[in-house]
Structure 1
Amino acid sequence: MSRVIHVFRQPERFIAGTVGEPGDRSFYLQAIEDARTISVLLEKQQVSVLAERIGALLQEVARRFGPELATEPGGDEFDADPLAVPLEEEFRVGTMGLGWDADSRSIVVELLAVTEEEIDESVVLDDTEEGPDALRVFLSPVQAKAFAERAERVVSAGRAPCPLCAEPLDPQGHVCVRLNGYHQRSPVED
């Protein structure tokens, strides 16, 4: 079976978002261009890593090609709108790829579907006919920076961390490992 690669060369939106309550959230990335909307499901850690790596790639691009790339006009508005509905998951993300396309001066994000087979890295950011389905999004440096900032906010909007062990606090509290499990810590009250 040949793969499907969803390509968004000039997305109107590429955002991270969640569905559910803190502690029980599902994380999505969503690309919108014209009348097409693709949503993919992934783990919180994957969103965090992608945001971090995009930030690092933007720094490297600015170092190599000049800081003017990161200061394109426009794009100062933060996209705080929720995910578009209906939210239909295209696939669950397994492998992620990131690159710089010098021709279009774009950050390229590729998200590949989870597969049971081991993925040859040559499939990432390639148009081979065999391999997992993929979502490939081309972002200007400003769009990439906005995506990374929103993704970091989405990740950090979860449960507050315990001041002692940094594990997430549930509304009922938690058994803190720093206290050797003797006391159940409650969330800090204001």
Structure 2
Amino acid sequence: MPTTVHEFAWPDRVVIGTIGVPGERTFYLQVRAGKQIVSIALEKQQSAQLAEKIDEILDQLVTLEGNPFSVPTSTPIELVDNDQLETVEEQFRTGVMSLGWDPTTAQIVVEAYPIAEVEADDDGFLADDDDDDASEVLRVRMPVGTARAFAKRTREVVGAGRPICVICGHPMDADGHTCTFPEV
């Protein structure tokens, strides 16, 4: 089966957003170019790590002699996107992601693959699906300024969840919280 590639070389918009209330949110990576929109679900931790790794790559590029790719050290204000997600039709739930740098276009490259379907074989052991290739992949290329703005927004979205209890360190629900102290 051929792989469906959702490729965005110069997207009009690329953001992480959520649907739902804190504690029950679903995170989405949404990309739009013209009328084409792709939304993939991912975990909160995947979102946080993606932002962290993008900033790490950009920070390393800034240190190159002469900053040949004109990587901004802070988020360009004109690229900040605080709008809500557009209509969400989940394409797939993300399993593995990869992150890279393309020096020929000065872009961060993000690839996301769906969670692999795993089923039991005749002996009851888990076995990968016969088709080793991913059925879909999302490939997004972001210019350095857009990537910096994407990472900033993503950190803000991740941080907008439930507040953390200063006593026990667990998230506090809106309907109440009972601290769970560790046994001594």
TM interval, shorter chain, is 0.7 to 0.9
Distance 1:165 1:70 in 2: 40
| Contact 2:72–2:148, Cα closer than 8 Å, also in 1 | no
- Change in Cα spacing, 1:94 to 1:65, as seen in structure 2 (3 Å) is farther
| Contact 1:15–1:147, Cα closer than 8 Å, also in 2 | yes
| Contact 1:114–1:132, Cα closer than 8 Å, also in 2 | no
TM-score (norm 1): 0.81
Distance 1:55 1:65 in 2: 18
Q: Is 1:100 the counterpart of 2:107 in the alignment?
A: no
| Contact 1:94–1:114, Cα closer than 8 Å, also in 2 | yes
Deviation at 1:63?
2.0
Gapped runs of 5+ residues in structure 1?
A: 120-128, 181-190
- % identical aligned pairs: 39
Q: Is 1:143 the counterpart of 2:153 in the alignment?
A: no
The equivalent of 1:186 in structure 2 is none
SS in 2 for 1:110: strand
TM-score (norm 2): 0.84
Distance 1:140 1:66 in 2: 18
Farther off after superposition, 147-156 or 74-83: 74-83
Task: Write out the 4+ residue segments of structure 1 that deviate beyond 4 Å after TM superposition.
Answer: none
Distance 1:169 1:84 in 2: 29
Farther off after superposition, 58-67 or 16-25: 58-67
Gapped runs of 5+ residues in structure 2?
A: 119-126
The equivalent of 2:10 in structure 1 is 10
Q: Is 1:168 the counterpart of 2:179 in the alignment?
A: no
SS in 1 for 2:71: helix
The equivalent of 1:88 in structure 2 is 89
| Contact 2:28–2:42, Cα closer than 8 Å, also in 1 | yes
Question: Cα deviations across residues 1-32 of structure 1 (Å, max 9, x unaligned)?
Answer: 11111110100110000001111111000000
The 5 A counterparts of 1:3-152 are 3-64=3-64, 66-67=66-67, 69-71=70-72, 75-77=76-78, 78-85=80-87, 87-116=88-117, 130-152=133-155
Farther off after superposition, 108-117 or 143-152: 108-117
SS in 1 for 2:63: helix
SS in 2 for 1:109: strand
Please tell me the root mean square deviation across aligned C-alpha atoms, in Å.
2.2
